[in-house]
Amino acid sequence: MPLDLFTEALSHAATLSPRLFAIDEPSLPSILKEVRAFCGRHVDSARIDKEGRLGSDLLAAIAEQGWFGLTTPAEHGGAGLSMAASTRVVSELAAHDGSLGTCVGLHSGLALHGLLHQGSEALRARYLPEIAEGQRICAFAATEPSAGSDISAVKTTLAEVDGELRLSGSKIYVTNGGMAALVTVLARSPGLGGAKAGHTLVAVDTRWPGVKKGAEEKKLGLKGSSTITIDFDDVEIPRDHVLGEPSQGLGYAHKALTWGRTFMAAGCLGVARSALAATREHVQVREQFGRPLAKFALVRESLATMRAEIHAIESVLRLVTAYQDAGLADLALPSTVLKVLGSEGAWSVVDRGIQLHGGAGFLEDVGMARRLRDVRVTRIFEGANDVLRLHLASAALAWPIPALREARLGARAPIAHLRSEAEAIDRALDAMTDALEQVRKLGFRVYEKQSLQWQLADAVISALAATAVYLRAAAAPDDEAALAVARLAISLHARRSREASARAMEPSDKAHDRLLELAAADEG
């Protein structure tokens, strides 16, 4: 949980920071250079958006580069990169095109997790070499018409019939579905493995009899990304294609989502970076009132805020991936923080970028409108942010108050050049702890007050963001420009955390609640 990150990271900030933000792969800089050069030559984002597909030629070229094997171990033909390095590559791809980043990120993260971590050695040996070469693109299928954020409600069923496993049901919104040759499917499995109820993950070859792919969905954004419905009509599943233990699939799916949300945040980061770069270029050349837009104070303030938002996302991403690679903590909730922060931060950055572009930002040819459409869905898929906030608040309400009271930067990890920033974070942590302590007094009634839980979650998200930025700044104290951005990001998120905590502590207003109830009622 995020509390683990707070207490461990805050306790050892001075010594832990350099290790947390280091990436060991010496090949990463050259890989990123190759990605930039390749995308500059081969990726036409406007064409991808217009045609609604990445295209077989581009996918084949990506496969030839080996980027479908980012997370596949070297012994199976992949690059075997760490999470920290893999997400850097996905972020770079997404900066050039959101659909491309989504395709590679989903394949490398959510779709492959089950096979990599729960698949047998024989199953990995069978599929991973083809996956690493891009011969088999992967997908993950959980969502159904009646099961979205609540994936435990799936109706697709894996059952034993005459000694064979049979899969029947339908999955919607399957990203990469149209091009996928291997799909990880979550299904109900009553009675399987001796359990009365439960869910099981299975790997399904989409060429097997009974697997039927639907037409491509027409979407608001990420138009080059494949999104389809897949039907499973009494599909025979070999027993060695069950991933992990039967009826334990729900837990495995949540672990896969932890991975997936991390890759998604990396994609959001890439889109945000490209939006900032395009906006910087525009304000340097666009003149109003006799001078470039970049000379106006409000424009500079907007650019600085955009950069601070990006810096915070980067910092939490690096913190979370470092912990994931080291296996130091349960990262289900930290990855949730990262997903919400990344998706909403990217939306904010792109929206500010459109504003600074003026009327040009509304034109398709400029590319900002496409970025806004592409990033919008990230607040919905792999867990809607509204629901994820409720999960985060529920977890935070269980944290021990004494441990939170002790998690203070100023006392535990004083760093001279960041003293005022440490104090700002400590004030945010104090306010967050006060809010949690007060709200906890409501008992089970708090779960009926979802707006209050929303505020608690935002307080936690921004507190962790500010903390991650602090740790990163402590690791690179001599970079004056980066330090200025870090200070701005800490100030921004520490204030947001305090404000969210204050809103959570406001007394209940029954009259206002009644107004909301009446306003939300059906007309007439």
The identity of residue 425, as a single letter, is I
Angle, to 10 degrees, between the axis of helix 249-285 and the axis of helix 368-376?
A: 160
* Whole-angstrom Cα Rg for the chain: 23
**Which residues, in sequence order, are CB contacts of 471 under 8 Å at separation 6+?**
9, 13, 16, 17, 20, 21, 315, 319
137 — phi, psi (to 5°)? -85, 145
Distance CA 507, CA 180 (A): 52
Cα separations in angstroms, 125 against 29, 80, 109, 256, 516: 29, 15, 18, 20, 57
Element (H, E) at 282: helix 249-285
- Nearest Cα neighbor of 423 from 411, 434, 433 is 411
Distance CA 415, CA 477 (A): 10
Residue 167's DSSP bridge partners are 158, 235
Residue tagged 């027993």 (tokens): 239
Q: Catalytic pick from 382, 421, 480, 506?
A: 382
Distance CA 276, CA 291 (A): 20
- Nearest Cα neighbor of 490 from 353, 315, 295 is 315
Pairing verdict, β 180-188 and 137-141: parallel
Residue 57 buriedness (CB in 10 A; 0-12 / 13-18 / 19+): exposed
Q: Is 160 a catalytic residue?
A: no
Q: Which long-range contacts (CB under 8 A, 24 or more apart) does 143-150 make?
A: 143/171, 143/172, 143/173, 143/174, 144/169, 144/170, 144/171, 144/172, 145/170, 145/172, 148/384, 149/383, 149/384, 149/387
Residues annotated as catalytic are: 382
